[in-house]
Chain A
Amino acid sequence: MDVLYGIPILGVIFQFIGYVIDVTPGIAPIVVGLAAPIALGALCGIMNERSGVVNIGIEGMMLSAAFAGFLVAGLVHQSMGSVEGWGAFGITPALLAGVATAIIVAMLLSALHAWLSITVATDQIISGVIINVAALGLTGYLNRLLISPNPRLGAGTFSTFRLPPEVVDFPVVGWILEMFVEQGPIAMSVIVFVIVLQVLLFRSRWGLRTRAVGEHPRAADTVGVNVIRLRYRNVIVAGVFAGLAGAYLTLEGTGSFQNGMSAGRGFIALAAVIFGRWTPIGAFGAALLFAYSGAFGQAVRIRPPGADYPELGTIMAAIPSQVYGSLPYIVTIIILAGVVGRSIGPAAVGKPYEKEAHG
C-alpha cells in the first residue's frame, strides 16, 4: 500500500481510494438512512412523472408531513403519557398516529397538486413551487404558534432494528445485511417499496396504463383508459411516499422539527428520478449515491484521513468543511448536468390533458 501511496500525484488518488474503502463500512448504515427520504421522494416523483405529471412540490409535501407528523405524535404522546415501545422498532401509538397524519397531510397536498395541474391545468412546475412556498410558510407559522411555546413536545423516534452480533460478524453478507436491515421501520421498508413498485410498473395492468398515459395520453384514451382518473389516482397515492419521507425526518431520523428541515431533499429526489431513468431501482441507486456523498462529508469531519494517508490528509484538511457539507447539492448538479441530455423521460410529462379533441 505504502508503495502505491508514495507515487507522486497518482498516489493521492490511490490514497483517496484507500480512504474511501476505509470509511465506507462505517458509514454504510447511515447511507441507507440518509437515502430513505430521497428514495421515497423519488418513488413519489416516479409515480407522478410516469403518468405525465411533474411534481416539484415533493419538497413541500415532505416538509408539511414532517411537521404534521411530529405535531400529532407529540400531542398524542402528551395526552397518553409515556408508553412502552412495542417490538423491535419501539412502536408507540403516538408514533403511529404521527406517521398516519404525515401520510394524510402529504396526500391532501398531492390532491391539491393533482387538482391544480390536472383539472385547473395550471403550469405544473408553478403548482409545485406554490406548494413548496405554502408549506414553508404554513409550517413556519404553525411552528412558531404551536411548537415553539412547547419545547418539550415530542414523541421520540422509532428504534433501529438490531441484528444479532453473530450475523453482523459474517463476512460481506453480514455487512450488507447490516446496511439494509439495521434501520428503523421506514428506512427498512424503502427497499420493499422499491421492488414492489418496480415489478408493478413493468408487469401489471396499472403499470402498463401508467406508462402509456405518461407517454401518449390520447392513445391511452382512445383505447378506453381514463387518463384523468389514472393521473389523479397516481398523484394522490404517490403522496403516501412523500408523507413517509416526511415522517422519516421527524419520527425516525431526528425526533424534532426545524423550519425548512427537508433541506432540498425533495429536489434531490427529482434528480434521482432522472438519474435513475424513471425506474424505482435506478432511482434508489441514485438516492444511495446522493446519500453516500452526504455521509462521506460527515465521515470526513468525524474521522479525517490521518497519518495513513499523508498527502491526502493535507489536501482534504485544506478544503473547507462547508464543501463537504454541500456535497449532496454539488453532486446533484453534476449528475443532472452530466446525465440529463442522455436520459429521456416520459414524453407527456408536464402537459395537461384535454379530453375533447377539437376539429
Chain B
Amino acid sequence: MTDAVRPPTLEMRGITKRYPGVVANDHIDLDVRPGEIHALLGENGAGKSTLMNILYGLATPDEGEILIDGTPVIIRDPNDAIDRGITMVHQHFMLVPVLSVAENILLGDEPMANPVFLDRRAAHVRIRELGRQFGFEVDPDAKVGSLSVGWQQRVEILKALYRNANILVLDEPTAVLTPQETREIFAVLRQLTSKLGTSIIFISHKLYEVLEIADRITVIRRGKVVGSRIPAETDEEDLAELMVGRDVNLTVDRGESHPGEAMLVAEDVRAADDRGREVVHGVSFTVRAGEIFGIAGVAGNGQDELVETITGLRKTTGGRLSLAGEPITTATPRELHEQGLAFVPADRHRFGLVLSFPLTDNFILNDYHAEPYASGFVRNDDAIRSRAEECVAEYDVRTPSTTVPAGTLSGGNQQKVVVAREFGRELKLLVLDQPTRGLDVGSIEFIHSQTIKRRDAGTAILLVSAELDEVLELSDRIGVMYRGELVAVVDAREADKEEIGLLMATGGKISPEATKVMAAELEQVS
C-alpha cells in the first residue's frame, strides 16, 4: 500500500475561525496519512487547540471543509467526531475524578444489559483485554481521582482504544509527565500506529519531543500554517524560528549566580491538604539571596501546599519557616508582603487577579490599604491611577487603558500585570509558581529575563514548576518533590534530566543499580 493511491485519513482544507477581535484559524490546511504520527507545532495561542476543537466538533468553523478518507464530512458535535473514528486526549484531562476508571471509559458509549441498566461485566472484560494488549492493565474499579497523572493519561488513551479510534488527537500529552513516562506513552503511540494503523495528531510546543516522535511536522503561527517539515530534514533552531517567526534564543542566558546569605529557611515543614490529609511530610531546604532554587515534581506531590504555606495562605502543621532570620511560620500574607515576600501564583485567575476589577485595582491588590494608595480609611484614586500608569509603561502591558477589567486582557498581559505588581518593589524572596504556564514565547522570554534580573539584584527566588524544562533552564539548584518529601537537591550544572525525571517518578526509593537497570529497560521499550 502506498500513500499515493490511498487518500489521506484526514484532510482539513481552508479552515477559518474568527473570535471577536482575533482570527484563531486563518485558512489552515492539514492532511494526515494512515498510520502517521503528525505533529502540530505552535506556541500557546497559535490556534492549535482551536483547530482540534473544530475537528472534534467542539467549535464550528466559519469556513473550510473536513474530509475523512477522501469524503467530505460535517462534524457538528463530539458525537459526529466519535462516529467518524476521531477521538481526542485533551491537555486538561477529560476525566471525572469521582467516577471509576470503567465508568469514565464507558461514558457516552455504554454497553447495556437491558434498555435501562449498564452491563458492567462486559465493560470490565473489554477494558482488561485492551489494557493487556497494550501493556497497561488498570483496575476498572479504581477511582480516577486516586490515580497518578501518568495513569490518568493511560485511561484517556484507553478511552480512545475502547472507541476504536482511527484518528487520535493528543493535545500537549506530555506537559505533566516525567521524561520516563513520556517515553512510555511514546512507545504506546508507536504500537498504535504499527499494530492498528491509527493516525495520530500530536500537538506540542516542545521541539525535541516533536522531532523524536513525529513522521511529519506542521507549524502554525498566529492562526496560519507557516511551514511543514520532516524530522530528518530539520532541527530545533529551524522549528523554533518557524514557530515564533524570528530568531529565538532557545536557552536562557542565566550567567553565574552569586548566592549570598540564607533568605528562606524551611525546617521540617509539614502541611495538610483541604481534606486534612498530610501531603507535605517534613520538607527542609534553604534559598539564598541571589540564587534561584527550583522545585521539580509531578503535579500533585505536595508542591502546591508547600508554596501556600510559605506564602501564608495555608497553615503549617509542623516545622519552622524563616525569612532573613525572622520566623515566618505563622505569618499572614500581609505580614509576609510587608517583610519583602512576593508571590506569582500558578493560577492567576484564582489568586493573582480579580478579573472583573480594572487594572488600577489589580496593581494595588496587596497595597490597597497602605500609603500612598489609602489615607486611613479613604482610598486615594490619584495615587492608584499613577501607579497603574507606571506599571503599564515599565512592564509593557498591552492595554488600551488602565481602567479596563483585567479579564479582558490576553493571558500574557494578565501575567505581566501580576509580575509588575509583585516584582516592582524591594524584595527579599520571590516565589514563582508555574510563572509561564500557558503563555506565548515572547511573554515567557520576558518573564524569564525579569526573573534572572531580580536574582542578579540579590533576591532569593523559589521557582516551582511541573515543567521540568523550565526548572532546568532557570534554576541554580534543584530540589525534587515526591509524595510530599524533598527527595533530592542537586546543583543545576550537574543536573541530569533523566536522573531528575526518575526521581520525580519514583522518589529514588530504589537503589542506584536498580534505577540504572530500569532506565536501560525503558530505553529498550522505546
Contact = CB atoms under 8 A, between A and B. Distances in A.
Whether chain B is bound by chain A comes out as yes
Interface of A: 200, 203-206, 208-209, 211-212, 215-216, 218-226, 347, 355-359
Given A204-B118, A208-B106, A358-B19, A222 B96 contact: no
Nearest to B94: A219
B94 A359 contact: no
Given A208-B107, A356-B58, A356-B60, A215 B97 contact: yes
Contacts of A212: 96, 99, 103, 107
Given A205-B112, A357-B58, A357-B59, A223 B118 contact: no
Q: Is the interface of B mostly helix, strand, loop or mixed?
A: loop
15 contacts: A203-B118, A205-B118, A208-B99, A212-B99, A212-B107, A215-B99, A221-B78, A222-B58, A222-B90, A223-B109, A224-B109, A225-B108, A357-B59, A359-B45, A359-B50
Contact of A215 (B82, B88, B98, B116): B98
B500 interface: no
B309 to A, nearest CB: 20
Interface of B: 19, 24, 45, 49-50, 53, 56, 58-60, 77-79, 82, 88, 90, 93-99, 103-104, 106-110, 112, 116-118, 159
A359 B44 CA distance: 10
B103 A223 contact: no
Given A208-B118, A224-B82, 20 more contacts: A200-B116, A203-B118, A204-B117, A205-B112, A208-B103, A208-B110, A211-B99, A212-B96, A212-B107, A216-B97, A219-B94, A220-B108, A223-B108, A223-B109, A224-B77, A224-B79, A224-B109, A225-B107, A347-B98, A359-B45
Contacts of B106: 208
Nearest to A223: B108
Contacts, number: 86
Contacts of A216: 94-97
Given A359-B19, A359-B49, A215 B78 contact: no
Q: Which 10 A-B pairs have the closest CB atoms?
A: A223-B108, A224-B79, A219-B94, A224-B108, A216-B96, A222-B94, A215-B96, A357-B58, A357-B53, A205-B110
Contacts of A208: 99, 103, 106-107, 110, 118
Contact of A222 (B45, B78, B103): B78
Contacts of A356: 58-60
B171 to A, nearest CB: 11
A204 B94 contact: no
Contact of B58 (A209, A221, A226): A221
B117 A203 contact: yes
A230 B90 CA distance: 23
A226 B78 CA distance: 9
B116 A223 contact: no
Contacts of A200: 116
A117 B98 CA distance: 25
Contacts of A206: 116
A223 B159 contact: yes
A212 to B, nearest CB: 5
Contacts of A347: 98
Contacts of B99: 208, 211-212, 215
A47 B315 CA distance: 37
